[in-house]
Amino acid sequence: MRDGKRGPGELTDVFAGAIVYAQRPEKPGLWVTDLGERGRWMLVFSTLERLARHAWDCDYLSTTGADLLELVPPGIGLMVDPHEDHRFPILSRMAPPDVIARTWKQAGKRPPRPDITG
């Protein structure tokens, strides 16, 4: 994905048709993290194995990317596979196109991987 051959629109189209997984909170709703000026984000994963590496043994939901986008309120971005080299943001409900383009460029900067060994 990072080979420069696909843009954010094409990846969003792939996401819409894919089955994705997310940690499910105890009460009905979505698990969202508020990062202050960096926005509000929900983490989603392309496989159950990737979700398990992030959240260990947890309750989860699975749905298509398109259905998830219908559930996510405006102002919340989705970060797909946040700990992987191919991670990418879905910002279609979060910000105007110029902000989305800037964030897409910044997504290539790899953050430090959290220590999940306990």
- Which pLDDT tens digit goes with each residue over 31-68? 998 988 888 999 999 999 999 999 989 999 999 999 99
pLDDT in tens, 62-115: 999 999 988 888 889 899 999 998 888 887 666 555 665 676 677 655 555 555
Q: Do 23 and 41 form a contact (C-beta atoms < 8 A)?
A: no
Specify the number of domains making up the chain.
1
Cβ neighbors of 36 (< 8 A, separation 6 or more) are: none
Assign 3-state DSSP to the chain and report helix, strand, coil percentages, each to 5. Answer: 30, 20, 45
Indicate whether 31 belongs to any domain.
no
pLDDT, residue 68, reads 92
Helices (H), the chain: 8-17, 48-55, 65-71, 97-106
In a domain, 115, yes or no: no
Task: Quote the pLDDT of residue 103.
Answer: 64
- The verdict on residue 87 lying in a domain is yes
Structural domain contains residue 62:
yes
Tens of pLDDT, residue by residue over 3-20, are 555 555 566 778 888 999
Q: Is the pLDDT of residue 1 over 50?
A: no
Range of the domain at 97: 8-26+38-106
CA distances from 59 to 51, 55, 90, 91, 106 (A): 10, 9, 23, 25, 31
What pLDDT, on a 0 to 100 scale, did the predictor assign at position 73? 87
